[in-house]
Amino acid sequence: VPVGIAAFAIIAIFCPPLKHDKKPVVDYAGAALLTLALGTLVLAVDNTDQIFKGLLDNTSLSLAGLRAIMYTIVAVSVAAFVMVERRAKEPIIPLRFFRNRNYVLIMGIATLFGAAFLGSILYLTQFNQQVFGATPTQSGLMLLPMVAGLMTTAITSGQLISRTGRYKIFMQVGIVTATIMVAMLTTLTPHTSYAYEAVLMVMLGAGLGVVMPVMNLAVQNEFEQHDLGVATSSSQLFRSLGSTIGIAIFGAILTAGLTASLAGIQDDAYLQALKKNPQASKIADFNDSNTLLTLNMPDLKSKITDGFNTAINSQPNLPAPAKQQATENFKREQSTYSDKITSAFS
């Protein structure tokens, strides 16, 4: 937020005023339909069960049924959006753009790279927490190698393009590099060192850093001056759309993988001990894969251990050796559970 406020102030002070020969016609209908379509799509693919938990619990509507309704709304909104854009004087996204082969190709790349970029950040932070035991803040700082690679190549590629006048080769190299690095991320295991992960992140960031700014340049070269604003902003739109869809796909893959790998986890001694706690049973769904992952977070593990120690030490009739043995057993069960979750997540 502070950075956003500073950026807003700089733009307000230093951005030169733009003068138009004619008053623009705002496509309110197109904007509303596009917002409805994209907003509903986000709700349909991201944490739908949590957002609409009250509705699902209090009605006979199933999660699949709710998503079907949302996808129908998306389809109808998109169809209506296309009809409106055909008649709009100044459409949000001119449909003639899609007759340009290069524009369609670049938007496809933007969608895929949006999925790769945000998907990598989201699940690498979880990997750092699950495997390396990092806190949320630490896991974020562990992504700095990716940011460094991205910033370095974004600046360098811009300078090289300015000097050479060529940009396609940079986009090609960036796409190949990022694709290989995303594939290499699948080699991460519970025994992987952070140094190895950091090298992959630097190279992934380098690939993404080359492609993202070049995409804007490439799409701008396809249109006249009066279309540059719409063409450039649509690149960001498709990148954001790719992020939304990518996270949904990655989340589904992760959930399916965890479900298969943790088929017998409900019989785990540590989990059984937590289920006996009335408070934990009320607030946690132990059949949910996200809950199983959350229970392995360092901060929560520490709180659970402290709670167990407090409960054990509050038993006046329990001998000290028995308390010590119970504590050791609990720590061992917690460690075994952590190993299972870490292995399945990786």
Tens digit of each residue's pLDDT (9 = 90 or more) over 149-177: 999 998 888 888 888 888 888 888 999 99
Hey, what are 280's tokens? 């934990």
From 63-72, 129-138, 254-263, the region with the lowest mean pLDDT? 254-263
Hey, what are 296's tokens? 């392995």
Give Cβ neighbours of residue 289 (< 8 Å, ≥ 6 apart). 254, 255, 258, 259, 262
Average the pLDDT over 48-55 and give the result: 83
In the predicted structure, residue 340 carries a pLDDT above the cut 70? yes
In the predicted structure, residue 281 carries a pLDDT above the cut 60? no
Hey, what are 221's tokens? 């070269």
**Distance between CA atoms of 247 and 50, rounded to whole angstroms?**
16
Percent of the chain with pLDDT over 70: 97
Residue 113 in contact with residue 239, Cβ under 8 Å? yes
Hey, what are 75's tokens? 């389809």
What is the pLDDT at residue 282?
55
Average the pLDDT over 107-121 and give the result: 86
In the predicted structure, residue 283 carries a pLDDT above the cut 60? no
Task: Report the top-level CATH class of 100-261.
Answer: mainly alpha
Going by pLDDT thresholds of 50, 70 and 90, the confidence category of residue 213 is: confident
What is the pLDDT at residue 180?
94
Residue 27 Cα distances to 78, 91, 97, 342, angstroms: 15, 6, 17, 50
Average the pLDDT over 304-314 and give the result: 81
